[in-house]
Amino acid sequence: MFRNFNGWEIVIVLVIVLLLFGARKLPDLARSIGASAKEFRKGLDEGVDDEESDDASSSS
């Protein structure tokens, strides 16, 4: 996905994000993105566990 970006394009995107959200809100934004990713992975893991338990109960 990011293979087509060169160094300057990444810098421009980061500057735009800094201008949109401001320096004070960036740590909170990063923290909320991290928490969202953690919850998403947790949900995926629970979904896999549910599928494994469904497979085990249906084969018995």
pLDDT for the residue numbered 34: 93
Query: CA-to-CA distance for 13 and 1, rounded, in angstroms?
Result: 15
Any idea where the domains of the chain sit in the sequence? 23-60
The C-alpha R_g of the chain, in whole angstroms, comes to: 20
Those residues with Cβ within 8 angstroms of residue 29's Cβ, 6 or more apart along the chain or in another chain: 21
Tell me the pTM. 0.53
Residue 11 pLDDT > 90, yes or no? no
pLDDT for position 31: 93
Average pLDDT over residues 5-28: 87
Please determine, for residue 19, whether its predicted confidence score (pLDDT) is greater than 70: yes
Supply the pLDDT for residue 37: 93
